[in-house]
């Protein structure tokens, strides 16, 4: 194997993109303890690992990636052991076309795995619908979600309509309260108190933003924390921050679900959250800490932000600035979760873009969420999931598996 590695070293740097291995640790761990190798091969693993470490000391990440491919093909490690660290499919395809030592065509780029939020959100809604059906059949309980809209903001009206439609589709009860823009604060608080006391309502959401004369914090904190399916109540913020059971904000919860699905375990990964809002940035950081990531919260005023971001295995862009995060901010192979939704003019048209510049980031990242079609669809899906969770907790029933933090 070492001779084969030596044969390819030196001639590959300019032929393939250097985006494949962070370091050799995962490969070495797999070589030592890969599940698919026979006992007689296990004795070889430490020596093979040492040989690859020697090569690593003298050569760049690209060579290590190709060594990883050789180890894979030689049977020292199995595909599952390295698939999260190296673009195995891409490498194997290049190897088939050009031979192990032939490299890849010049200019060929690794494309990131697209984390499809639409597909994942549909899966979550399916899980919610199945659990709702069981609640109805086994306990005679139908989860209920009440949405309160004050005023006639066009974007809010569209969002509330979409929430109501999906709530009904999964079998839950949907209640909408549309109030005029000049609704007095005392009247809004009275409505919320009524919903708090209604046992058939398990989730309450007050659509933001509210008209200027209403105190948003007072209104949100008047919702029963157990029915606060947006996760914005100060009690839920505190519970999440101290690692206790809470209602979790929908967008960060959706991001966490996609990350868990893509990575499996997040333990030990370096995560950078660019953005410090109460709605996304801060709760996202808390959720990642809860999954044993090493977390940095950065923002638009962070010194040398690009360098901070390049240290991330998981990079969450939630800064609220169109395409601020570019490819040079991204560590090769990292997962980029783009929370931003920004409307900009481009080519005489209004287009939606994220906080990450998609093309340049996708050329470097191992996986990325698109805008639109990434995080956005997960927000409503997680609102439905939170409503089912709130219903189960209110009735002393087991929470739905895979739908909570």
CATH of the domain at 239: 3.40.50.10860
Active site residue 7: no
Residues 18 and 86 in one domain: yes
Residues 80 and 151 in one domain: no
Structure tokens at 126: 């399916």
Contact 77, 30 (CB under 8 A): yes
Active-site residue among 224, 228, 230, 355? 230
Contact 100, 8 (CB under 8 A): yes
How far is C-alpha 313 from the chain's CA centre?
Answer: 12
Q: How many residues does the chain have?
A: 405
Residues 386 and 240 in one domain: yes
Is residue 401 in some structural domain? Answer: no
Active-site residue among 163, 227, 282, 331? 163
Rounded Cα distance between 220 and 230, Å, is 9
Residues 264 and 368 in one domain: yes
Is residue 310 in some structural domain? Answer: yes
Residues 266 and 343 in one domain: yes
| Per-residue tens of pLDDT for the chain, all 405 residues | 333 333 333 333 333 333 333 333 444 444 444 444 444 444 444 444 454 444 444 444 444 455 555 554 444 444 444 443 444 444 444 443 433 333 333 344 547 999 999 999 999 999 999 999 999 999 999 999 999 999 998 889 988 999 999 999 999 999 999 999 999 999 999 999 999 999 999 999 999 999 999 999 999 999 999 999 999 999 999 999 999 999 999 999 999 999 999 999 999 999 999 999 999 999 999 999 999 999 999 999 999 999 999 999 999 999 999 999 999 999 999 999 999 999 999 989 999 999 999 999 999 999 999 999 999 999 999 999 999 999 999 999 999 999 999
Residues 263 and 239 in one domain: no
Give residue 228's pLDDT. 98
Give residue 65's pLDDT. 52
Active-site residue among 127, 207, 331, 338? 207
Residues 358 and 265 in one domain: yes
Active site residue 127: no
**CATH at 300:** 3.40.50.720
Residues 213 and 228 in one domain: yes
Axis crossing angle, helix 117-139 with helix 250-263, rounded to the nearest 10: 110
**Beta pairing, strands 270-274 & 113-114:** unpaired
Rounded to two decimals, the pTM is 0.74
Is residue 81 in some structural domain? Answer: yes
Domain residues for the domain of 264 are 113-117+250-375
Is residue 341 in some structural domain? Answer: yes
Domain count, the chain: 3
Residues 91 and 76 in one domain: yes
Residues 271 and 229 in one domain: no
Give residue 68's pLDDT. 53
| Radius of gyration for the alpha carbons in the chain, expressed in angstroms and rounded | 25
Distant-in-sequence, close-in-space partners of 273: CB < 8 Å, separation ≥ 6: 281, 284, 285, 288, 295, 296, 297, 298, 316, 318
Active site residue 22: no
Distant-in-sequence, close-in-space partners of 266: CB < 8 Å, separation ≥ 6: 259, 260, 288, 291, 292, 293, 314
């Amino acid at each position: 194997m070492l001779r084969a590695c030596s044969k390819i070293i030196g001639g590959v740097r300019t032929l393939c993109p250097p985006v494949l291995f962070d370091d050799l640790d995962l490969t070495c761990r797999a070589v030592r303890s890969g599940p698919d190798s026979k006992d007689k091969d296990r004795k070889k693993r430490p020596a093979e690992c040492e040989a690859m470490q020697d090569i690593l000391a003298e050569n760049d990440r690209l060579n290590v990636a190709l060594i990883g491919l050789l180890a894979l093909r030689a049977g020292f490690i199995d595909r599952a052991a390295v698939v999260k660290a190296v673009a195995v499919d891409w490498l194997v395809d290049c190897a088939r076309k050009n031979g192990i030592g032939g490299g890849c065509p010049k200019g060929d780029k690794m494309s990131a795995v697209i984390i499809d939020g639409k597909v994942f959100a549909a899966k979550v809604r399916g899980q919610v619908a199945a659990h709702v059906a069981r609640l109805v059949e086994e306990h005679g309980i139908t989860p209920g979600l009440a949405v309160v809209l004050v005023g006639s903001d066009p974007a809010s009206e569209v969002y509330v309509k979409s929430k109501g439609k999906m709530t009904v589709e999964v079998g839950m009860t949907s209640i909408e309260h549309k109030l005029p823009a000049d609704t007095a604060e005392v009247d809004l608080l009275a409505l919320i108190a009524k919903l708090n006391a209604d046992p058939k309502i398990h989730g309450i959401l007050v659509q933001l933003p509210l008209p200027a004369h209403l105190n948003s914090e007072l209104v949100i904190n008047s919702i029963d924390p157990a029915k606060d399916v947006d996760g914005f109540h100060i009690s839920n913020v505190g519970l999440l921050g101290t690692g206790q059971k809470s209602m979790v904000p929908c967008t960060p919860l959706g991001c966490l679900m996609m990350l868990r699905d893509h990575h499996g375990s997040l333990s030990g990964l370096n995560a950078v959250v660019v953005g410090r809002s109460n709605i996304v940035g801060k709760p996202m950081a808390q959720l990642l800490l809860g999954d044993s990531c090493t977390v940095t919260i950065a923002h638009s005023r962070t010194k040398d932000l690009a360098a901070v971001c390049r240290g991330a295995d998981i990079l969450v862009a939630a800064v609220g600035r169109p395409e601020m995060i570019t490819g040079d901010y991204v560590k090769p192979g990292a997962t980029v979760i783009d929370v931003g939704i920004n409307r900009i003019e481009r080519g005489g048209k209004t287009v939606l873009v994220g906080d990450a510049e998609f093309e340049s980031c996708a050329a470097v990242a191992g996986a990325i969420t698109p805008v639109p079609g990434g995080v956005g669809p997960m927000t409503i899906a997680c609102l439905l999931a939170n409503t089912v969770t709130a219903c189960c907790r209110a009735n002393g029933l087991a929470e739905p598996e895979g739908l909570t933090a």
